[in-house]
Structures are given as structure tokens and as C-alpha cells.
Chain A
């Protein structure tokens, strides 16, 4: 299905990538390379335009950010003792950026999914094509376009 607001979808993807990048930096030292791998993959897949997977990826990245939060603020007693002090400060700053980027990506994703017109009614095709066939023949004399597309 064509996206009527591609800039929003693109923005969500860019936001996801930014979140992934920032979280990756935050996670490199304390949360580990797994954070980088999963969030990087999530951002890349979102950027590739696989719309059905954007919501699961957003939820997955939220869960990973939760782990990153635990590792950064709670798991080490409030300090990132696994890292040098300067790096620990940088990690916390990166984590905050990751949170902001994730929220931006989520908001833009919701906005991109929001419908822009009132819903239209639809007929159900059963064992035969009769509803479509009768409409098709009722419009002989006009150019007709038929699209077979997924509603998601």
C-alpha cells in the first residue's frame, strides 16, 4: 500500500537509526555488543521500509534500552564502574540521547500510521467474484484499475 506521508515513515526510520546508533555507543562498554547488533539490525530493517516489522522492532529496542538503563544506572550501583569515569559520563549522555531518539521514532511511526481520511466501506469476496464482477461490468465504457494489495 502506498504511504501517503513518506517523509514521516522516513523520519521514523532515521529516528530509529539515530536511536540505534546512540544506544549502540551507550551499550558498547556496559551493555555489550549485543545491544549494538540488535539495535543496529532494528534500525537497518526499519530503514529498509519493512513496515510490518517496525512495531516489533520499536518494542524490541525499548526492551534493550531498558536493559541498557539497568546496566548503566542500577546494575553498577549508579556508576558505570566497568568503564573509565569519563566514558561512564559519555555513556549516560548517549543513553539519554537514545531515549530521546527512540521517543521521536515512536511518535513519527504513530504519525505515519495515522489515517488521513475517513474509512471507506468494503465488500467481502466469498467463494465467487460476483461483487467485483458486477461492479466491473457496470463500469464498461470507463477505464478501470484493479490493485491487489495488503491492508497492512
Chain B
């Protein structure tokens, strides 16, 4: 989700998507900061939610108007809420949520 921060505009998105070349990735532009505000409320940040990284387990559905609370999330904000992003920790949590099939 590309959001209008750091003077970012929709015209910047095409270039930015090149830094996420994984074909499974889907890209969205939240020009109206709809999700920025919604995730502020969901996470209880008390500020615009951006530079935020969230993981949802396989069973989570999005049925309400607002997005569901993630199973795990980190950020790179000046905030006492949540945990500052550590890539290894984030990856470990994502890995732990992947369903394992027995051989």
C-alpha cells in the first residue's frame, strides 16, 4: 500500500513498485489516506499509520468496514505504541504463521 507521505504522489508509484518485484505482491495507491486513518484507529497509534508493516495469519477475514487487527505488526515511527521494525523478527513471525503440512 503506497501512501501519500514524504511528498509522494501517485506518479511515484510505478517507480516504487520496481523495488518490490515479487510477483505475488499487489500494489495499491491510497491517495486519500483512507487506510492511513483506518489503521491509526485499528492499531491505536494516535497518528497517521504509515511506515507500518503488518502480518495476518491464514484464517483472518476482513468482514467489517475497517480492516481487521493484524496478528503481528511493527513500524518505523516515533511512537511508544507497537514495536520498531526489526526485519529478522518480522520475518520470523511471518514464517511462524505459515501453515505446515505434515509429510
Where the two chains meet, the residues of A that have a C-beta atom closer than 8 Å to any C-beta of B are: 1-4, 51-52, 115-129, 131-133, 135-137, 140-152
Where the two chains meet, the residues of B that have a C-beta atom closer than 8 Å to any C-beta of A are: 1-10, 12-21, 25-32, 34-36, 38-39, 49-63, 65, 67, 70, 94, 97-99
Contact A117 B29 (CB under 8 A): no
Secondary structure type dominating chain A contacts: loop
Contact A119 B14 (CB under 8 A): yes
> Which of A115, A129, A136, A142 has the most chain B CB atoms inside 10 A of its CB?
A129
Q: Which of B28, B49, B55, B97 contacts A125 (CB 8 A)?
A: B28
Contact A145 B94 (CB under 8 A): yes
Complex Cα spacing A8 to B21, Å: 19
Contact B57 A148 (CB under 8 A): no
Contact A150 B29 (CB under 8 A): no
Given contacts A115-B19, A149-B2, A150-B5, contact A125 B31 (CB under 8 A): yes
